[in-house]
Amino acid sequence: MGIISCNTLFSSSPSLPPLTLSTRTKPSPFSKKLRVRAQFQFMEDHDDLLRRKFMEFPYLSATGRQLMVELMSTMEDRLQSQLLPCSLPPDVRNFKNPNGSAEASLHIRSGQKSSLIDFVIGSWIHCKIQPGVSLNITSISAYLNSSTKAPNFVLELIQSSPTSLVLILDLPHRKDLVLHPDYLKEYYQDTALDSYRQSLLKLPEIKPYVTPSLFIRSALSPTSSMLKIDVEEEEKLEEILRDHVSQAGKEVLGVWLDRCARKEEQEEKRVMGEEEKLEMERRDKNSRKKSIEEDLGSQFPRMFGEEVSCRVLHAIKEAFGVL
């Protein structure tokens, strides 16, 4: 796939009016500093604008929107000292297809080199399938680097009807659970992660969901909540999201933040041999590459066209470290 150069938002940077002098002089160091400060403020303002656009989650219901805002805010607040600002180009952070039938927003923040975080990613995608029918996919994920073996985090809401929704909530494992039963015990049994799935399945409106993707099924943990919610009225779906899904999502994120993403918590467990670390890096890279191929590579060109898809997928691959 070819690489298309991204348009820059700052092609005409703001500058202060030149000083009116009787003779031509070089700009003073003071005026240069003011210009740099103005440019920096301009960039910060636009970054804030793009982040607010992402955090609107405009195609979710009020309850779904509140959940995603709380999860993303909690994650960024807790990990703030470990994260770098989002560096995606503006035309990757928010983009549409040529005819306006599909729109998406993307927010990726890489981790500091000294942290356990590789990157966190949030996104929402809206696509009109046919008159009156739209597909909305909203997700928040966090990926750890090879300095720790702890699981990642993912929450995704997939909705194509006001009365039906698919939930994916999990801490995807990064070690073979058969070869490493201590890993299964530490991150899944001792944290009682399966209780959230069991609790949600007690509701008559919620059933297990089986994705047709064998790769996704293999990548998720045995405690994953991959569930389908079907109701007769929109109000009932809002109630389930508010009273049950929101609670499960927040608590599972809390487990991940406390048991997987805390540097102090992982300090004693970070001692890995060079071979084990290289194997972890290979596994992570293969998993991310396959995830892009399965999830986005086949769908994005149909939703957004070749040019937009090429630009966005290149940026995602770069962030995922799989170029």
CA–chain centroid gap for 113, Å, is 19
Average pLDDT over residues 164-190: 96
pLDDT (0 to 100) of residue 2: 34
User: In angstroms, rounded to a whole number, what is the distance separating the alpha carbons of residues 321 and 139?
Assistant: 20
291 part of a folded domain: no
User: In angstroms, rounded to a whole number, what is the distance separating the alpha carbons of residues 138 and 156?
Assistant: 6
Is 285 strand, coil or helix?
Answer: helix
User: In angstroms, rounded to a whole number, what is the distance separating the alpha carbons of residues 203 and 5?
Assistant: 49
13 part of a folded domain: no
pLDDT (0 to 100) of residue 248: 98
pLDDT(45) > 60: no
Q: What is the pLDDT confidence band of residue 15, given thresholds at 50, 70 and 90?
A: very low
User: In angstroms, rounded to a whole number, what is the distance separating the alpha carbons of residues 43 and 218?
Assistant: 41
pLDDT tens-place string over residues 102-131: 999 999 999 999 899 999 999 999 999 988
Q: What is the CA radius of gyration of the chain?
A: 22
pLDDT (0 to 100) of residue 28: 67
Average pLDDT over residues 185-205: 97
Strand ranges for the chain from DSSP E = 94-96, 102-110, 117-130, 133-144, 153-161, 164-170, 206-208, 225-230
pLDDT tens-place string over residues 54-92: 999 999 999 999 999 999 999 999 999 999 999 999 999
Phi–psi pair at 225, nearest 5 degrees: -95, 95
**Nearest one of 58, 66, 63 to 241, comparing CA atoms:** 63
180 part of a folded domain: yes
pLDDT (0 to 100) of residue 210: 95
214 part of a folded domain: yes
Mean pLDDT, the chain, integer: 86
**Nearest one of 162, 98, 152, 158 to 124, comparing CA atoms:** 158
296 part of a folded domain: no
107 part of a folded domain: yes
Q: How many domains does the chain have?
A: 1
- Per the structure, the complete domain to which residue 175 belongs is given by 44-273
Token pair belonging to 279: 């194997």
pLDDT (0 to 100) of residue 276: 87
User: In angstroms, rounded to a whole number, what is the distance separating the alpha carbons of residues 251 and 264?
Assistant: 20
pLDDT(303) > 80: yes
Out of 22-31, 149-158, 165-174, pick the least confident.
Answer: 22-31
Q: Are 88 and 315 in contact (CB under 8 A)?
A: yes
pLDDT (0 to 100) of residue 314: 93
User: In angstroms, rounded to a whole number, what is the distance separating the alpha carbons of residues 161 and 213?
Assistant: 21
CA–chain centroid gap for 177, Å, is 25
CA atoms within 13 A on the CB side of 298: 6
According to DSSP, the residues that pair with 110 across neighbouring strands are: 119
**Nearest one of 191, 257, 246 to 223, comparing CA atoms:** 191
99 part of a folded domain: yes
pLDDT(39) > 90: no
pLDDT (0 to 100) of residue 17: 36
The CATH number linked to 174 is 3.40.1500.20
Q: Are 141 and 119 in contact (CB under 8 A)?
A: no
**Nearest one of 240, 205, 60, 68 to 134, comparing CA atoms:** 60
Is 262 strand, coil or helix?
Answer: coil
7 part of a folded domain: no
